Structure 1
């Protein structure tokens, strides 16, 4: 099932979080996620997790996904050393570049500003962040090395899209394949 990622968020409250998509849009997105055998999740423009399915949960400790998948990807030691294989060369440059671009687009967003501040304080992320100088805006179509706790080492193929009724939201599907 695609579940609300925010504690206590149900029905109309979730529609308010998702924005102008309204309840029918949320129900439709939930149906998309429920029908997925692949890992699937929905975030806002700050990467706050709004919806996710059970397949996505299986990646995380205690089957509990982080409140912000981008923050987890950029700053979690467990993500760097266990799940996101070749983090320094593949995952970090892509993720950090996305955050850098988002901060430029939303310079007053407190979630993004806090994430950027913590990235700049992180000894592993900071040098990569400082060295980014190429445009990279989204992961759609990327394939990256990945360790799935249930299936082992392999790759994920990433599909990312923006639901039409949700300004700058992201619906991401991750297709895991073994090496």
Structure 2
């Protein structure tokens, strides 16, 4: 039937147009009759023609419905939102450290801690050449930044990630206990 009505086998353009229409109908009928679920819906439609709108709904629900798992969509949305949130928190954290580095009070305290620990002695020479003033200043900034990271507690930055890391093992432990309940009940009987 498909070979007889295929549009490529027709000679004139009028026959091709008619054959395309017939071939489209044949293709739709084949799709409906080859799928058992669609075939039962089609049989139900033939038995109950008064529920025409319901049949339209069933047909288009199958045609237009998404083929993607909803769990994957939700997971990807959560990952995207979490990564945006993490990037925002990381940026805020770096801005806070930069502000503390520029603040004279915290900068002096960091220099005092660095000199007390003996870390402030930055070598002015590196591999046979003298470091420029900008390079020395950059190394001092890196040293003070690392000291500020160690000493100053910046609350609420990256706290959610820490809580999530603490929560997931707890959730796994609770799930293991719940899974063991039937085994414990079997032992007591």
Query: In which range does the TM-score fall when normalised by the shorter chain?
Result: under 0.3
TM-score, normalised relative to structure 1: 0.17
Greater RCO, CA 8 A, separation 6+ = 1
Report which of the two has the higher share of strand. 1
TM-score, normalised relative to structure 2: 0.17
Specify the structure having the higher radius of gyration (Cα): 2
